[in-house]
Amino acid sequence: MKNSIELISIGTELLSGRTLNTHAQTLGAVLSEIGLSLSRDTTIPDSIKTIQSAVREAFERVDIVIVSGGLGPTSDDITREALAALFNRDIVSSPSALEEIKKRYAARGYPMNPASERMALIIEGAETLINSAGAAAAQRLDPETGKTLFVVPGPPNEFAAVLNDHIVPWLRKNFPDAVPLELRVLTTQGIGESAIVTLLENSTFQCSPALPVLSEAEGRELEGELSIGFYPGFGRVEIRLTAPKKKAALLDQTERTLRKLLHDHLID
């Protein structure tokens, strides 16, 4: 799937319940604005074999994979080693990344040491992506023709910095024809999710050839044009309408219909 991207977050701490992983939310929102999609979000522990199998399997499904985490200076930061072995590459020091680390340490009055220099290591053949929010360098690697791997630091601010500084510009350049998505949100209260679906199924909403018959509570797509999803919580149900911006008229029509049917329960 050329317009789909997979995210693999690495870190045993992410699976312990002690650290909240927000990368999928951050990445998904950005990709929607570009017109691309996040097709899978996988979180795995710090294990060389697990990292390798997760990346290998992801590339069987998509052409672009983003890996985050495990690029720090400690012994459990093994992402580089796992990926270098997977693609039969050496690990080398990036001169530009090392220079940036030296500047960062000097500005804070910290001495350089072998552990800090480790954060300048990249996979042989990868492009260094300077991390403007931290010391550990990010990188982009093309392991084979038509495949691209981004390796990004795990801290949320660093992940976001590399995403905005490097990954987004690369995606916009390589997918110039991608169509951005538009989101409309309606929020209801005083009516349950199943009651909403029943109301819509029994109304004229399903009679329009441009709109889907809603037979289940989960979002569904209609010929790649319109996605309708239901998200209940805290006594309310959020209805999200998503479609390419070029389908704004379809979004307008659907929103008007839903507002008419659910007017007694809408929260403005």
pLDDT for 170 equals: 98
Contact in structure between 87 and 123 (CB atoms under 8 Å): yes
Domains and CATH numbers, the chain: 4-174 (3.40.980.10), 181-261 (3.30.70)
Q: Dig out the tokens for 222 from the structure.
A: 């209609």
pTM for this model (two decimals): 0.84
Q: What is the pLDDT of residue 225?
A: 72
| Per-residue pLDDT tens listing for the chain (268 residues) | 567 899 999 999 999 988 999 999 999 999 988 999 999 999 999 999 999 999 999 999 999 999 999 999 999 999 999 999 999 999 999 999 999 999 999 999 999 999 999 999 999 999 999 999 999 999 999 999 999 999 999 999 999 999 999 999 999 999 999 988 888 999 999 999 999 988 888 876 654 444 443 333 333 344 457 888 899 998 999 999 988 888 888 889 889 989 999 999 999 6
Strands 226-233 and 4-10: unpaired
- Give pLDDT, residue 208: 45
Reduce the secondary structure of the chain to three states and give it as a string: CCCEEEEEEECHHHHCCCCCCCHHHHHHHHHHHHCCEEEEEEEECCCHHHHHHHHHHHHCCCCEEEEECCCCCCCCCCHHHHHHHHCCCCEEECHHHHHHHHHHHHHHCCCCCHHHHHHHEEECCCEEECCCCCCCCEEEECCCCCCEEEEECCCHHHHHHHHHHHHHHHHHHHCCCCCCEEEEEEEEECCCHHHHHHHHHCCHHHHCCCCCCCCCCCCEEECCCEEEEEEEECCEEEEEEEEEHHHHHHHHHHHHHHHHHCCCCECC
pLDDT on residue 206: 55
pLDDT recorded at residue 147: 97
| pLDDT at residue number 89 | 98
- Tally Cβ neighbours within 10 Å of residue 195: 13
Taking the C-alpha atoms of residue 229 and residue 242, their distance in angstroms, rounded to an integer, is 8
Q: How many residues can be counted in the chain?
A: 268
